A = this chain, B = another copy of it.
Amino acid sequence: MYTDTLTVNCMEYSSRAIQDPPQPVSRLLYEQVADRLTSIIDAGTLRPGDRVPSLRRTSTAQGVSLSTSLQAYVLLESRGLIEARPQSGFYVRPSLSARLAEPPVRTCPPGPTSIDVGALARQVFQAATDPAIVPLGAACPSPDVLPTKKLGRLVTAITRSAGSEINTYVFPPGRVELRRELARRTVDWRYPLPATGVAVTCGATEALLLTLSTVAARGDMVAVESPAYFGMLLLLEHLGLRAIEIPADPASGLRLDALASALRRHRISACIASPTCQNPLGATMPDDAKRELLALLSRHDTPLIEDDVYGDAFHGGERPLPVKAWDRKGVVVLCSSFSKLAAPGYRVGWVAGGRYHEALMQRQLTTTLALPALPQLAMAAFLRSGAYDSHTRHTRALYARQVALAREAIARHFPPGTRATRPTGGLVLWVELPPSVDALRLGDEALRAQVSIAPGPLFSPRREYRHCIRLNCGYPWTPVIDGAYRTLGRLASEQAASKRR
């Protein structure tokens, strides 16, 4: 039973909440209450349109004050889960994002193109290190979701107990403790990796660079997904390689028919793809498609460079197998890292190079010589202790939740005609705005409003996707993040409206 006064107060609070959140009085407590209600909504016990228990009922049931309950409800409203109706109370919001369409698959030109995305990429990375800017650009997890303390304790234990091994050159293939743990994680594969089949790298970036420069020479053609991770396009540019774009489906990933056609028409030195939780689409290829991809490339004797950095961030149940799991002949070079789920500051990546493994390690000895010992030993201990697995379970659920909230915010704030992916995993969303919106201009305007995004043209060697953007969902939902989505929605709507005029 609400009094009119209370309802009006709620409304005042809630409409102010997004712009200027009330100072938390007992932050932990009201967050706990909000989380409990969130899990009830998530479980489907309360459905869209259902009335949420009254503030008084919640106060009594949860043993908290009325004002704490109110703070919890305001938080739930800012998360997009409930809404206040004047003189009636709080209700579970209809899920707006259910109405968001997915972006269609794009066709790609058949020929190769040269690449130039450097300046734009640097802007996105630089924004990620500026605490004044809302970080929706680079695909970075929030410091709050990382196991930094746990890793720090392992580092301390290692430096205390270890001898000289933490301060000697670690030449390729890297510390065996880590390679053994990585190999152990592949025992359920059709063809498990031995520890000798894995080499440690400085993030997945070094793994990709070593692989590309080993399997392809300047001027060669490489098949890439469209849209594709821009860091990979920068590597192609750096190595003087030409990209053949293969459309990727937001639902099912790389289009095998298009790849098959490209392989028939061109002499392609390698195919780079992320078959699990693709960046930026979040698509995961079904197992059958993965095996078909392997068979297709094997027939053409073309290596697959499998970028699996988001594989462990699959939102659903069991983490899908990478293509490498079925690779008997060593055609697949698997590249991955711990940067997206656990340790961006440790720069521990790895490569399983198949038939190219020896060549990769020789190249690494020349170009890198050795990698620091401590990060490798810390990640080995993190894996061995089981902490990585429990952390990953937690983080996958968190990323899924953040992505769902972002989709809700997009549905609410972005102009009509906006589409967004339903990612199977990872921490990014790919958003297609109305065609009249210029993503590069939107990026500039957003940055002036202290919000960083990754404009679509970054994800294509030909600077396509001019009305698309990628949004990082690695940060827990806060009023600041919510405000950033409002800002982006307003800026996009303004552009869309001015074009119509």
Contact = CB atoms under 8 A, between A and B. Distances in A.
Query: How many copies altogether?
Result: 2
A373 interface: yes
A429 to B, nearest CB: 20
A148 B169 contact: no
Interface stretch (A67-75, A119-127, A253-261): A119-127
A166 B345 contact: yes
A206 B368 contact: yes
A390 interface: no
Given A159-B156, A344-B370, A346-B374, A365 B125 contact: yes
Nearest to A372: B347
Contact of A129 (B167, B169, B348): B169
Contact of A374 (B122, B163, B375): B375
A237 to B, nearest CB: 8
Given A206-B367, A231-B369, 6 more contacts: A144-B164, A146-B164, A152-B159, A237-B366, A345-B374, A374-B375
B363 A345 contact: no
A366 B241 CA distance: 14
Nearest to A159: B152
Contact of A366 (B159, B202, B235, B375): B235
Nearest to A138: B169
Contacts of A339: 169
Interface string A336-378: 0001000111111000000000000011011111111111000
Interface of A: 118, 121-122, 125-126, 128-129, 138, 140, 143-144, 146, 148, 151-153, 155-156, 159-160, 162-171, 202-203, 205-206, 209, 218, 231, 234-235, 237-238, 339, 343-348, 362-363, 365-375
A146, A366, A368: residue with the most chain B Cβ atoms closer than 10 Å:
A366
7 contacts: A125-B369, A148-B166, A166-B345, A202-B371, A206-B367, A218-B218, A231-B366
B345 A118 contact: no
A372 B367 CA distance: 17
Contacts of A165: 345
A155 to B, nearest CB: 5
A203 to B, nearest CB: 6
Contacts of A152: 159-160, 162, 166
Nearest to A370: B347
Contact of A345 (B143, B156, B373): B373
Nearest to A234: B366
Contacts of A151: 167
A235 B367 contact: yes
Interface centre among A121, A235, A368 (most CB of B within 10 A): A368
A113 B203 CA distance: 35
Nearest to A342: B167
